Structure 1
Amino acid sequence: MEPRDGGVEDRHVSKLSGLEEVDEMAQRFADGVVLVTGASSGIGAGIAARLHARGARVIIAGRNRERLESVAARHPGMSVVVMDVADPESVTRGLAEVAAVSPHLTTLINNAGIQRLLDFTAVMPPGPADIVSEIATNFAGLINVTAAALPLLRRAPRSRVVHVGSGLGFVPYAKAPVYSATKAAVHSFTVSLRRQLAGSAVQVVEIIPPVVDTPLHRDMPSVPPMAMPLERFLDRAMRGLDAGKDEIPIGLGRVSQIGVRVAPKRLFSLINRGN
């Protein structure tokens, strides 16, 4: 059968158009001003390093100045802002410092997070401080930073908010119940914020990681055997960002996102096997 007139050409044009869009997204990072929270180690430090290597003006934020400056020292030109996302006043001060560095932002990456293994059946169950701090950092802090950064993001011709969620937001890990719940809340907030900003110049993105080999899991006796190496995760996350995707599920994060729709009980049992 003969191909329709222009069929091959149309496919080539479509492919080229897609590549041009990816190049445009990558260039936006190279030309942009980026704020990364939770950037003193792990995913945050890794993403900050990748974007800095592309030429972006990167501002890293976290609670520990010494650790932030250690990251920045490896990447000359990075700016450091000490900011505790769980403290609204600290967020206000931090965003004022960001505004002093640049009058606008092109990308906000909300990565700050803590994970605790909490047993509510223990003789000494988790106290309010442990519970509240996890919620304040992982969820309320993400909202506070987003709200404070939106005026700067809206000054850019095009910008994006990137929330680092988790596959555990779809299928929880029973030993980390509060962490899992906060990531479910992050997903819900992300979907709603995307709807509110639809039609604006601000894109809302959620990265949905699997377990990644980072210091986040220091409460665990050992790194989970299924943990994805950080560099492999970063490769996939950057490809998704370059492609302009709204949702970037990676590895077991993708399995959780899909599996919760088709076999939620089975997947929950598998993730919590032996617990």
Structure 2
Amino acid sequence: MSKSTPASTVLVTGGGSGIGAGLAAAFHARGAKVIIAGRTRERLVAVAAKHRGMEIEVVDVADPDEVGALAARISTGFPTLDTVINNAGIQTQFDFTRAEAADPSLLGREVDVNLKGLIFVANAFLPLLKRQSNARLIHIGSGLGYVPLASVPVYSATKAAVHSFTISLRRQLADSSVHIVEIIPPVVETDLHRSQSLKPPRAMKLDAFIAAAMAGLDAGRTEIPVGLAKVLRITSRIAPGLFLNIVNKRRG
């Protein structure tokens, strides 16, 4: 989907806050019909209240039945859907050096939302997207998919898997009408980190990130690393050990 072919109808998962809400607002400002989806109705309502005409859908992306039902509703109510932004995600710090084991339910939940949920959404919505003459499936990755942050090992692993899945999907659908895109943020100032005692250093302002991401989409790029993620993309190949140490430098 090129700059001359703007999105007409957009679904954003994890649209109740952070990057999802920011991208939803950007597409809404351009005149697209925007549907935001997420687990918490109150968050969705608060975002939609700021943007007249924005729709909301409550869904847990980790539940394939709920995702399938959402796809059925969207297919009926918004048959011209041409853009899906697969953004829902959670991040938890896990310390495997502790004497006690980590809570398996928390470990599993992060994998379920960040990876399985993204795959469920892609699987459920690709049939609708393939009906359009020009469509996009956009995955939100992370610079930590290139170089992991040891304090969030499960998050980093899921984002590496998202990157791999996106590459495979792009290869499979190369001859279709659906463009497979990955936006790869650095650390961005959002409430993704609300459970952590310290805010991550060198976090990018959300508005600046959204502007850069939209510029990449306008340019028709299929892989859009932003800010420090550009550095991690390159250095993960040429000096992986060095930047693994830099990313995981102890903070005093």
TM norm structure 2: 0.97
Equivalent pairs counted in the alignment come to: 251
Deviations 1:187-224 (A, max 9, x none): 00000000000011100000110000000011321222
Contact preservation (8 Å) 2:11, 2:84: yes
Gaps of 5+ in 2: none
Contact preservation (8 Å) 1:43, 1:234: yes
| 1:28-47 matched pairs, under 5 angstroms | 28-29=6-7, 32-47=8-23
Which piece of structure 1 moves more, 72-81 or 121-130? Answer: 121-130
Residue 252, structure 1, aligned to residue 228, structure 2: yes
User: Which residue identity lines up with residue 234 of structure 2 in the other structure?
Assistant: I
Residue 23, structure 1, aligned to residue 6, structure 2: no
C-alpha distance in 1, partners of 2:223/2:81?
A: 21
Residue 202 of structure 2 is matched in structure 1 by 226
Secondary structure at the aligned position of 2:195 is classed as coil
Residue 110, structure 1, aligned to residue 86, structure 2: yes
C-alpha distance in 2, partners of 1:169/1:119?
A: 19
C-alpha distance in 1, partners of 2:76/2:104?
A: 36
Which piece of structure 1 moves more, 219-228 or 193-202? Answer: 219-228
User: Which residue identity lines up with residue 3 of structure 2 in the other structure?
Assistant: D
Whichever of the two has the greater Rg, that structure is 1
Residue 172, structure 1, aligned to residue 148, structure 2: yes
C-alpha distance in 2, partners of 1:124/1:226?
A: 32
User: Which residue identity lines up with residue 257 of structure 1 in the other structure?
Assistant: R
User: Which residue identity lines up with residue 179 of structure 1 in the other structure?
Assistant: Y
Offset at 1:153? 0.4
Where in structure 1 do 4 or more consecutive aligned residues deviate above 3 Å?
Answer: none
Gaps of 5+ in 1: 1-20
C-alpha distance in 2, partners of 1:174/1:100?
A: 43
Secondary structure at the aligned position of 1:23 is classed as coil
User: Which residue identity lines up with residue 127 of structure 2 in the other structure?
Assistant: P
Residue 107 of structure 2 is matched in structure 1 by 131
C-alpha distance in 2, partners of 1:81/1:224?
A: 31
Contact preservation (8 Å) 2:3, 2:220: no
Residue 50, structure 1, aligned to residue 50, structure 2: no
Secondary structure at the aligned position of 2:34 is classed as strand
Out of 109, 113, 116, the position equivalent to 1:140 is 116
Q: Which has the higher helix share?
A: 1
Residue 62, structure 1, aligned to residue 38, structure 2: yes
Offset at 1:22? 5.5
Offset at 1:238? 0.3
User: Which residue identity lines up with residue 33 of structure 2 in the other structure?
Assistant: R
Out of 37, 44, 55, the position equivalent to 1:79 is 55
Out of 135, 140, 165, the position equivalent to 1:159 is 135
Contact preservation (8 Å) 2:146, 2:160: yes
Offset at 1:123? 2.6
C-alpha distance in 1, partners of 2:75/2:101?
A: 42
Contact preservation (8 Å) 1:210, 1:227: yes
Residue 121 of structure 1 is matched in structure 2 by 97
| 1:211-222 matched pairs, under 5 angstroms | 211-222=187-198
C-alpha distance in 2, partners of 1:23/1:207?
A: 16
Contact preservation (8 Å) 1:59, 1:98: no
C-alpha distance in 2, partners of 1:117/1:132?
A: 13
Offset at 1:225? 2.2
Contact preservation (8 Å) 1:81, 1:97: no
Offset at 1:173? 0.2
Contact preservation (8 Å) 1:163, 1:190: yes
Percent pairwise identity: 55
